[in-house]
């Protein structure tokens, strides 16, 4: 027994020594030298108004966390939508390297990267908890990087809103036919689903929605949920507030980094940016979770908003249309198909356990006594 242990020990010692000598003689593996006096100054453009609750705060938090974790060696200046570039110009600005960082939502870039849709939300898709698991444990991150590589961009999850609201309407939706003829602000795959239900859909940045509703350019709009919708004052220009957000069950926001800029960082700052993004990602979900119901109560009790649930048959028809849209969406795009395959395999796996855990638990916890 003793002899075996001794041999094993010698063997392990050899591996250790061999490993160490390999590291020390390979010049490419020399640890990168860090200049403690060099300060990296980056700019970050966003698709949100500056300091906007949740979405805009995430960008400010990233700047703050990176500053704190790097002991001031990395400074990120945050610009709201329209300050340096328009909201919808964020992707190009970061891709081209005129700024190093961006914060927005990947589904705004459908005209540039079709497969970007999967990294924000899929109708009747994953929840926040499930999205985080797919991205960080289920292969989503690697696919996202592959999809953005041709644009010289490194993507990271940069927040999650949780389940959103279906949106604001000025007429009641009692059947799928009531959607026909509406003009609605709704981005992403859900926009395509609504188009098939006869809705004329448009994509507008959040800050343009109020005026468009007020001036009658659109009749309906979805944005996020009570916490954000209250701050934009949509209750002043729309009467009915519908749930659930069938189209955005856990929307992920994104941080995009110019790849050349990212690669120029010393390793410790690369890690700081990565882990600060992880912190921001969770922080945003916590902020929405903590504030949504207070805002909803204010909308209903103070502002007289009519809260309504979309009828089940409307939701079932939207689910049927969503399936149709998804099948066509991936048919002519290899990358979209590859990502959706991964997404679906993960979804089917995760909902099996969630049906007997999260879902079963919440159902019984909230059952009226
Ligand atoms: Ca939304």
> Alpha-carbon Rg of the chain, whole angstroms?
24
Name the residue among 258, 251, 253, 254 with its Cα closest to residue 149: 258
pTM: 0.89
**285: number of CA atoms within 13 Å, CB side?**
22
Name the residue among 116, 147, 113, 118 with its Cα closest to residue 130: 118
Q: Which range is least confidently modeled, 28-37, 107-116, 299-308?
A: 28-37
Is the pLDDT confidence value at 312 over 70?
yes
pLDDT in the model for residue 227: 97
3-state secondary structure of 253: strand
DSSP 73: S
Q: State how far the Cα of 326 lies from the Cα of 123, in Å rounded to an integer.
A: 9
- pLDDT over 90, % of the chain: 88
| Span from the CA of 69 to the centroid of ligand 1 (angstroms) | 32
| Span from the CA of 221 to the centroid of ligand 1 (angstroms) | 9
Q: Which two tokens stand for residue 104?
A: 């927005």
CATH superfamily, domain 167-247+305-342, is: Periplasmic binding protein-like II (3.40.190.10)
Listed in order, the ranges of the chain carrying CATH 3.40.190.10 are 167-247+305-342
What is the number of residues in the chain? Answer: 369
**pLDDT-based confidence at 32, cuts 50/70/90?**
low
| Span from the CA of 166 to the centroid of ligand 1 (angstroms) | 8
Q: State how far the Cα of 91 lies from the Cα of 148, in Å rounded to an integer.
A: 10
| Span from the CA of 249 to the centroid of ligand 1 (angstroms) | 10
Listed in order, the ranges of the chain carrying CATH 3.40.190.170 are 40-160+250-289
Q: Which range is least confidently modeled, 33-42, 217-226, 255-264?
A: 33-42
Report the mean per-residue pLDDT for the chain.
92
- Residues bordering ligand 1, an ion, CB closer than 5 Å: 164, 248
Bigger pLDDT: 9 vs 126: 126
Is the pLDDT confidence value at 20 over 80?
no
**pLDDT-based confidence at 31, cuts 50/70/90?**
low
| Span from the CA of 299 to the centroid of ligand 1 (angstroms) | 18
| Span from the CA of 39 to the centroid of ligand 1 (angstroms) | 37
| Span from the CA of 103 to the centroid of ligand 1 (angstroms) | 15
Q: Which two tokens stand for residue 97?
A: 């390297």
* Phi, psi (rounded to 5 degrees) for 68: -65, -45
| Span from the CA of 233 to the centroid of ligand 1 (angstroms) | 16
Peptide bond into 244 cis (omega under 30): yes
CATH for the stretch 40-160+250-289: 3.40.190.170
Query: What does the pLDDT average to over 322-327?
Result: 97
- pLDDT over 70, % of the chain: 91
Is the pLDDT confidence value at 65 over 70?
yes
Is the pLDDT confidence value at 5 over 60?
no
Q: State how far the Cα of 31 lies from the Cα of 37, in Å rounded to an integer.
A: 18
Element (H, E) at 252: strand 252-258
| Span from the CA of 71 to the centroid of ligand 1 (angstroms) | 36
Is the pLDDT confidence value at 9 over 60?
no
Is the pLDDT confidence value at 307 over 70?
yes
pLDDT digits (tens, 9 = 90+) for 186-197: 988 999 999 999
pLDDT digits (tens, 9 = 90+) for 172-218: 999 999 999 999 999 889 999 999 999 999 999 899 999 999 999 99
């Amino acid at each position: 027994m003793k002899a075996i242990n001794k041999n094993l020990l010698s063997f392990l010692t050899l591996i250790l020594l061999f490993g160490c000598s390999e590291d020390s003689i390979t010049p490419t593996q020399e640890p990168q030298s860090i200049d403690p006096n060099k300060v990296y100054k980056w700019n970050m453009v966003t698709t949100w108004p500056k300091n906007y609750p949740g979405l805009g705060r995430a960008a400010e938090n990233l700047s703050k966390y990176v500053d704190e974790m790097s002991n001031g060696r990395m400074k990120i200046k945050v610009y709201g939508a329209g300050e340096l570039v328009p909201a919808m110009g964020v992707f190009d600005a970061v891709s081209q390297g005129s700024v190093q960082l961006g914060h927005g939502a990947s589904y705004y870039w459908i005209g540039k990267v079709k497969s970007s849709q999967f990294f924000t939300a899929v109708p009747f898709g994953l929840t926040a908890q499930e999205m985080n698991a797919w991205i960080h444990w289920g292969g989503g991150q690697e696919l996202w990087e592959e999809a953005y590589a041709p644009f010289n961009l490194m993507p990271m999850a940069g927040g999650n809103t949780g389940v959103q609201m279906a949106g604001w309407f000025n007429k009641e939706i009692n059947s799928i036919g009531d959607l026909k003829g509406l003009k609605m602000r709704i981005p992403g795959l859900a926009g395509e689903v609504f188009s098939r239900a006869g809705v004329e859909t448009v994509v507008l940045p959040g800050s343009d929605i109020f005026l468009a509703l007020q001036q009658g350019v659109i009749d309906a709009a979805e944005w996020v949920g009570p916490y954000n919708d209250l701050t934009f004052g949509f209750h002043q220009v729309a009467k009915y507030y519908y749930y659930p957000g069938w189209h955005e069950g856990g929307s992920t926001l994104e941080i995009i980094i110019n790849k050349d800029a990212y690669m120029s960082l010393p390793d410790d700052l690369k890690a700081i940016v990565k882990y600060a993004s992880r912190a921001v990602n969770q922080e945003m979900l916590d902020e929405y979770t903590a504030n949504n119901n207070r805002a909803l109560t204010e909308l209903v009790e103070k502002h007289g908003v009519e809260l309504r649930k979309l009828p089940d048959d409307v939701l079932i028809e939207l689910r049927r249309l969503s399936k149709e849209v998804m099948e066509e969406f991936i048919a002519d795009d290899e990358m979209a198909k590859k990502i959706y395959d991964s997404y679906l395999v993960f979804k089917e796996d995760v909902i099996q356990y969630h049906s007997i855990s999260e879902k079963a638990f919440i159902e019984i916890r909230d059952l009226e006594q």
